[in-house]
């Protein structure tokens, strides 16, 4: 019969352990810095306390490298599964047989178990484990046993009268010591690592189903050290058992009996008992259970587990199978025995930490997605479109002269061009080039010197071709999508004014590399305008290596009579960069 008190104790212990907080939860780094748009934490190739760096190719096995390359090249949305460590562990626990004879608790000199296990994760939820368990189960009845006539382990020593009342001549008390060896293959499902509100957990709950093989041998303590049968009547005393405490009865029995367990328990004739297993009975033994793990570090965790082992057809694990309430014929108790193993273990993660992550049941598969949403490192983002209210090519954020009239040439600050620097912008200057000695000028930009021929008439810009600037990223000479709309406007203006030329001026004269980069950028714009919009290259005046913002290329309409080359040889082609 199953000890209900023991089952309640088992459930209580497991529930208590399941409610304990994870005391080793991975801490979040306190100081972060921004690098390439991602906030990085401690030096472990992860950012903001995440599980691992998804972009790190050293963690991916060769079998999944093709998927990893597609992911890095934005050809596949899902990252490859990383290589993860193996877990090995050792455990110790309470080993009890729940059957016809009550089992003994550890404080009653009861059974114990030892186990060794190897576990491998195949995903973030499912893992498999191979576990070997060695168990010793002990049991001792506290009541008088009244129907042992069919049990050869007892009736060979003790007399059974067979009278109509069914009372034995000799009183006995059932007991046993069962030695088992078991090998299990378990499929484990973990649930706590998938978390929507934090990067990782230090606490896991799991359930498992197992298929296993069991080898066992039962022995009975039927005789004393002199191979004489026990006088159980005198051990228990004359006081009726119903008036005695069961624990006190067991203490009397354990004090009077030795621990030889010299008599083999009853076995079934059709069971396999190969000599290689010392005559132990073999049986299939499926099992199920649940457990919890507490993470101590990346390498170590503590495990508490409850396993129920259900042999396929065994009612003799405790040495007794006959119904105590039937006296006329051998009738079984109709319930197979169950093994209960409650254990505490220590597990270790084995593997190269530089090439393998922790077992996946400790990692949160949502971590990468959440971090990408917060601080993108891998996802493709559209080019930003910055506002430019007056359409002069200088974004409002940097435009020092907002509201410039349409078609007016501006400098890199968004202010109208003032070629002669007299304070009157070119589009209102009636004397476009006023010598310095003739300044200051009046409101029309005319100096104090005699006005030359044609002076006093506002110089007209070449049609409606406006000036502007194009900003490149550091070291790059590629026409980005954000530039294309601006250059399309310039192309339309040039097509509307087919006789006008445009000056393209690149800055950068501090070094050979800067000069070559300035050339590359000017050339990229001219080639883009020629190939994309069909503008004749000879309508551009090529200028590079000028003073100014090294990341900015200016363009403006050429002044009347202004000429220059459309093709210029690169100054230092061996220093050209993409």
The share of the chain scoring above pLDDT 70, in percent, equals 83
Residue 536 has pLDDT above 90, yes or no: yes
Of residues 122 and 399, more confidence is placed in 122
Chain-centre distance for alpha carbon 564:
61
Q: What is the DSSP string of 202-222?
A: SEEEEEEEEEEEEEEEEEE--
Mean pLDDT, range 298-322, rounded to an integer: 90
Of residues 427 and 34, more confidence is placed in 427
Residue 208 has pLDDT above 80, yes or no: yes
The share of the chain scoring above pLDDT 90, in percent, equals 37
Dump pLDDT digits (tens) for 111-120. Answer: 999 999 999 9
Please state, in angstroms and rounded to a whole number, the distance separating the CA atoms of residues 502 and 557: 4
pLDDT at residue 385, rounded to an integer: 76
Strand order in the sheet with 468-471: 468-471, 552-557, 502-507, 540-546
Please state, in angstroms and rounded to a whole number, the distance separating the CA atoms of residues 251 and 258: 12
Mean pLDDT, range 367-389, rounded to an integer: 83
Q: Give the residue among 225, 132, 113 at the shortest CA–CA distance from 178.
A: 113
Please state, in angstroms and rounded to a whole number, the distance separating the CA atoms of residues 198 and 367: 8
Mean pLDDT, range 164-178, rounded to an integer: 77
Please state, in angstroms and rounded to a whole number, the distance separating the CA atoms of residues 148 and 59: 64
Domains of the chain in sequence order? 4-24+85-362+364-374 (2.40.160.20), 461-575 (3.30.1330.60)
User: Phi, psi (5° rounding) for residue 287?
Assistant: -150, 165
pLDDT at residue 502, rounded to an integer: 93
Residue 44 Cα distances to 48, 50, 52, 354, angstroms: 10, 10, 8, 10
Span of 86-90, 474-478, 524-528 with lowest mean pLDDT: 474-478
| Burial of 519 from C-beta contacts in 10 A (0-12 / 13-18 / 19+) | buried
Torsion angle (degrees, nearest 10) of CA 70, 72, 74, 75? 0
Dump pLDDT digits (tens) for 232-278. Answer: 888 887 766 665 778 888 888 989 999 889 999 988 877 766 666 77
Whether the CB-CB separation of 264 and 308 falls below 8 Å is answered with: no
Of residues 459 and 509, more confidence is placed in 509
Please state, in angstroms and rounded to a whole number, the distance separating the CA atoms of residues 295 and 292: 10
Of residues 482 and 302, more confidence is placed in 302
Chain-centre distance for alpha carbon 190:
13
Dump pLDDT digits (tens) for 487-516. Answer: 988 888 888 788 889 999 999 888 888 899
Find the helix or strand (DSSP H, E) in which 234 lies.
helix 232-236
State if pTM tops 0.75: no
Q: Which residues contact 261 (CB under 8 A, 6 or more apart)?
A: 176, 177, 219, 220, 221
Residue 197 has pLDDT above 90, yes or no: no
Geometric angle at alpha carbon 228, from 177 and 259, rounded to 5° = 30
Helices (H), 342-450: 367-374
Please state, in angstroms and rounded to a whole number, the distance separating the CA atoms of residues 296 and 143: 46
User: Residue 73 is encoded by which pair of tokens?
Assistant: 């090249």
Residue 16 has pLDDT above 50, yes or no: no
pLDDT class of 327 with cuts at 50, 70, 90? low
DSSP bridge partners of 179: 136, 217
Of residues 434 and 156, more confidence is placed in 156
Largest CA distance in the chain: 152
Please state, in angstroms and rounded to a whole number, the distance separating the CA atoms of residues 305 and 487: 69
pLDDT at residue 420, rounded to an integer: 73
pLDDT at residue 394, rounded to an integer: 82
Residue 446 has pLDDT above 70, yes or no: yes
Span of 37-41, 204-208, 513-517 with lowest mean pLDDT: 37-41
Helix, strand, or coil (residue 332): strand
Whether the CB-CB separation of 50 and 368 falls below 8 Å is answered with: yes
User: Residue 291 is encoded by which pair of tokens?
Assistant: 């457990």
Residue 68 has pLDDT above 60, yes or no: yes
DSSP state of 518: H
Mean pLDDT, range 293-303, rounded to an integer: 95
DSSP bridge partners of 283: 214
User: Phi, psi (5° rounding) for residue 154?
Assistant: -105, -45
Output the average pLDDT for the chain: 82
Whether the CB-CB separation of 356 and 83 falls below 8 Å is answered with: yes
* Bridge pairing between strands 287-295 and 281-284: unpaired
Helices (H), 134-188: 152-155
The distance in angstroms from the start CA to the end CA of the chain is 81
Q: Which residues contact 472 (CB under 8 A, 6 or more apart)?
A: 478, 480, 521, 551, 552, 553
Helices (H), 416-557: 481-496, 512-533
Mean pLDDT, range 200-227, rounded to an integer: 92
Find the helix or strand (DSSP H, E) in which 35 lies.
strand 33-35
Please state, in angstroms and rounded to a whole number, the distance separating the CA atoms of residues 387 and 403: 13
Please state, in angstroms and rounded to a whole number, the distance separating the CA atoms of residues 282 and 271: 7
Whether the CB-CB separation of 394 and 410 falls below 8 Å is answered with: yes
Please state, in angstroms and rounded to a whole number, the distance separating the CA atoms of residues 292 and 80: 28
Helix, strand, or coil (residue 291): strand
Please state, in angstroms and rounded to a whole number, the distance separating the CA atoms of residues 315 and 450: 126
Span of 56-60, 135-139, 278-282 with lowest mean pLDDT: 278-282
Q: Give the residue among 452, 574, 470 at the shortest CA–CA distance from 524.
A: 470
Residue 305 Cα distances to 30, 91, 295, 513, 525, angstroms: 35, 9, 15, 66, 69
If you compute the radius of gyration of the chain from its CA atoms, what whole number of angstroms results? 45
Of residues 28 and 460, more confidence is placed in 460
pLDDT at residue 409, rounded to an integer: 74
- 115-129, 221-235, 327-341, range with greatest mean pLDDT: 115-129
pLDDT at residue 116, rounded to an integer: 97
């Amino acid at each position: 019969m199953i000890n209900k008190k023991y089952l309640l104790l088992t459930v209580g212990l497991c529930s208590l352990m399941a409610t304990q907080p994870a005391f080793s939860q991975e801490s979040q780094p306190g100081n972060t810095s921004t690098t390439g748009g991602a906030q990085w934490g401690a030096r472990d190739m992860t950012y903001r306390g995440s599980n691992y760096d998804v972009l790190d190719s050293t963690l991916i096995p060769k079998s999944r490298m093709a998927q990893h390359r597609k992911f890095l090249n934005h050809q596949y949305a899902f990252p490859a599964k990383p290589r993860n460590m193996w877990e090995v562990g050792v455990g110790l626990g309470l080993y009890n047989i729940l059957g016809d004879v009550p089992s003994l608790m550890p404080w009653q000199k009861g059974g114990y178990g030892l186990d060794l296990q190897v576990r491998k994760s195949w995903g973030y939820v499912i893992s498999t484990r191979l576990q070997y368990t060695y168990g010793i189960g002990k049991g001792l009845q506290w009541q008088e046993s009244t129907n042992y006539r069919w049990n050869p382990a007892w009736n060979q020593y003790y007399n059974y009268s067979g009278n109509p009342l069914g009372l034995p001549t000799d009183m006995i008390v059932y007991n046993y010591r069962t030695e088992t060896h078991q090998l299990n293959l378990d499929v484990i499902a973990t649930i706590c690592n998938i978390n929507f509100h934090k990067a990782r957990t230090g606490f896991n709950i799991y359930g498992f189903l197992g298929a296993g093989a069991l080898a066992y041998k039962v022995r009975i303590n039927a005789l004393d050290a002199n191979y004489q049968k026990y006088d159980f009547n005198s051990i228990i005393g004359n006081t009726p058992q119903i008036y005695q405490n069961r624990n006190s009865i067991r203490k009397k029995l354990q004090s009077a009996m030795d621990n030889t367990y010299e008599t083999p328990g009853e076995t079934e004739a059709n069971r396999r008992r190969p000599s290689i297993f010392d005559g132990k009975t073999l049986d299939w033994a499926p099992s199920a259970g649940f457990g919890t793990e507490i993470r101590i570090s990346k390498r170590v965790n503590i495990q508490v587990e409850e396993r129920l082992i259900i042999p396929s057809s065994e009612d003799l694990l405790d040495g007794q199978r006959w119904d105590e309430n039937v006296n006329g014929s051998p009738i079984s108790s109709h319930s197979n025995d169950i093994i209960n193993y409650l254990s505490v273990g220590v597990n270790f993660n084995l593997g190269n930490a530089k090439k393998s992550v922790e077992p996946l049941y400790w990692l949160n598969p949502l971590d990468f997605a959440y971090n990408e949403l917060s601080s993108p490192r891998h996802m493709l983002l559209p080019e930003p479109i910055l506002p430019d209210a007056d359409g002069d090519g200088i974004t409002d954020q940097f435009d020092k002269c907002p509201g410039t009239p349409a078609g007016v040439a501006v400098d890199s600050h968004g202010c109208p061009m003032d070629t002669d620097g007299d304070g009157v912008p070119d589009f209102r200057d009636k004397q476009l080039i006023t010598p310095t000695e003739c300044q200051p000028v009046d409101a029309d930009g005319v100096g104090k010197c005699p006005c030359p021929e044609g002076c006093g008439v506002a110089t007209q810009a070449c049609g409606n071709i406006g000036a502007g600037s194009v900003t490149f990223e550091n070291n790059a000479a590629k026409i980005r999508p954000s530039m294309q709309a601006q250059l399309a406007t310039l192309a339309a203006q040039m097509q509307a004014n087919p006789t006008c030329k445009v000056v393209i001026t690149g800055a950068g004269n501090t070094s050979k590399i800067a000069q070559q980069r300035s050339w590359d950028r000017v050339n990229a714009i001219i080639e883009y305008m020629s190939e994309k919009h069909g503008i004749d290259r000879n309508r551009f005046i090529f200028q590079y290596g000028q003073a100014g913002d090294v990341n900015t290329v200016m363009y403006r309409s050429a002044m009347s009579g202004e000429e220059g080359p459309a093709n210029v040889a690169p100054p230092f082609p061996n220093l050209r960069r993409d």
